[in-house]
Amino acid sequence: MRVLSIKNLAFGYEKDRLLFENFNLELHRGEIVAIVGPSGVGKSTLFELIAGFLKPLRGSIEAAKFSMIFQDPYSSFHPSYTIINQIKDVCSIDGIEAITKEMDIDLQLLQKLPHELSGGQLQRCSILRAIQMQPKLLLADEPTSALDNITSLKVMQLLLRYLDRVGILLITHDLALARWCADRIIELEGRG
Domain assignment present for 123: yes
Domain assignment present for 192: no
Average pLDDT, the chain: 91
pLDDT of residue 96: 93
Domain assignment present for 131: yes
In CATH, what number is assigned to the domain containing residue 22? 3.40.50.300
List of residues 6+ apart from 75 with CB closer than 8 A: none
Domain assignment present for 101: yes
Domain assignment present for 162: yes
Domain assignment present for 150: yes
Encode burial over 143-178: b for 16+ CB neighbours within 10 A, e otherwise: bbebbeeebbebbbebbeebbeebbbbbbbebeebb
Would you mind telling me the total number of residues written for the chain in this entry? Answer: 192
Quote the domain boundaries for residue 69.
Answer: 2-187
Domain total in the chain:
1
Domain assignment present for 159: yes
Determine the average pLDDT of the residues in 109-122.
Answer: 92
Rounded Cα distance, 155 and 157, in Å: 6
* pLDDT of 110 above 70: yes
Determine the average pLDDT of the residues in 59-74.
Answer: 93
Domain assignment present for 155: yes
State the pTM of this model.
Answer: 0.90
Least confident segment among 4-13, 56-65, 113-122, 130-139: 113-122
- Nearest Cα neighbor of 10 from 20, 134, 51, 50 is 20
